[in-house]
Amino acid sequence: MKLLTLARDLQRRKARERHQRFVAEGVRTVEALLDSAVQMVGLLATNELGRDERGAALLVKAARRGIPLQEVSAKELDDAADTDTPQGILAVAEIPQRVMDTPPEVGRFLVLDALQDPGNVGTVIRTAAALGVATTLALPGTVDLWNAKVVRSSMGALFSHSALPATWESVTAWLDTHAVPLWAADTNGAPLDTITVAPDRLALAVSNEGAGLSAPVAERARQRVAIRMSPGVESLNVAVATGILLHALRPR
């Protein structure tokens, strides 16, 4: 399949799952991809990209790595891209094959419970990477981690942070095998400032703001935690809340 045709096809989740490929759009995202260990398939770029100093440097770096380049028109690139402004560059790469490894003795793990907004999920993954989370597991109902907007919003974190989809059965088996307790973010949970000690190993589940915790996660969670807020404020964006919780619960 030609690269341009493949890139267009990869706008669909089923195509990404079938081909095990994804698309990265924009100069900054492609720069991060080039700096990662993720295997790249090829680049689509407009003629205008090389006229910019940063764009030219990107093309030189890709050429040194032997990554195939196909020049396309601005219209062709727009048709293949998810964003309105792909900045003259789009990359196709292989989805990394990740597994649920044995966790470290001290660490934090994140469980995404049916988070559906791709911008939020990308930001959550970036936050998890920044705060030292070892693994992020995306339960069914969560947006595809390799959706173009998730990739873009993660600002490159998705290329190195261990984030992967997982079934509830595989997550519970992993938690049981490695004795990792599951806590959950819940507006009705115990305020963070009342929790003085957290386990060395801990998985935190964060859920869809509207739907709340799914029934299996709610039943499994040993502890529910909340962020104390000023009167009149009902909730926080899930990405903001996740950052606050992970920072407060980080290993000491």
Q: Are residues 243 and 132 part of one domain?
A: yes
Q: What is the pLDDT of residues 24-63, one digit of tens each?
A: 999 999 999 999 999 999 999 999 998 889 999 999 999 9
In a domain, 100, yes or no: no
- Cα 169 from chain centroid? 21
For 233, the domain range is 107-248
> Are the C-beta atoms of 103 and 134 separated by less than 8 Å?
yes
pLDDT at position 82 is 86
In a domain, 99, yes or no: no
The helix/strand/coil state of 175 is helix
Q: Are residues 70 and 48 part of one domain?
A: yes
Q: Are residues 179 and 231 part of one domain?
A: yes
Query: pTM value?
Result: 0.93
> Are the C-beta atoms of 76 and 45 separated by less than 8 Å?
no
Q: Are residues 132 and 79 part of one domain?
A: no
Q: Domain end: 94, 115, 141, which one?
A: 94
Q: Are residues 25 and 54 part of one domain?
A: yes
In a domain, 101, yes or no: no
Q: What is the pLDDT of residues 140-165, one digit of tens each?
A: 999 999 999 999 999 999 999 999 99
pLDDT at position 217 is 96
Q: Are residues 234 and 135 part of one domain?
A: yes
CATH number at residue 9: 3.30.1330.30
What element of type H or E holds 153?
Answer: helix 148-153
pLDDT at position 251 is 87
Q: Are residues 115 and 87 part of one domain?
A: no
Query: What gap in Å lies between CA 88 and CA 55, rounded to an integer?
Result: 9
- Cα 109 from chain centroid? 13
pLDDT at position 118 is 96
Residues of the chain with pLDDT under 70: 1
Q: Are residues 119 and 85 part of one domain?
A: no
Q: Are residues 142 and 220 part of one domain?
A: yes
Q: Domain end: 37, 70, 94, which one?
A: 94
Q: Are residues 193 and 133 part of one domain?
A: yes
Q: Are residues 139 and 60 part of one domain?
A: no
How many separate domains does the chain show? 2
Q: Domain end: 39, 71, 94, which one?
A: 94
Q: Are residues 116 and 89 part of one domain?
A: no
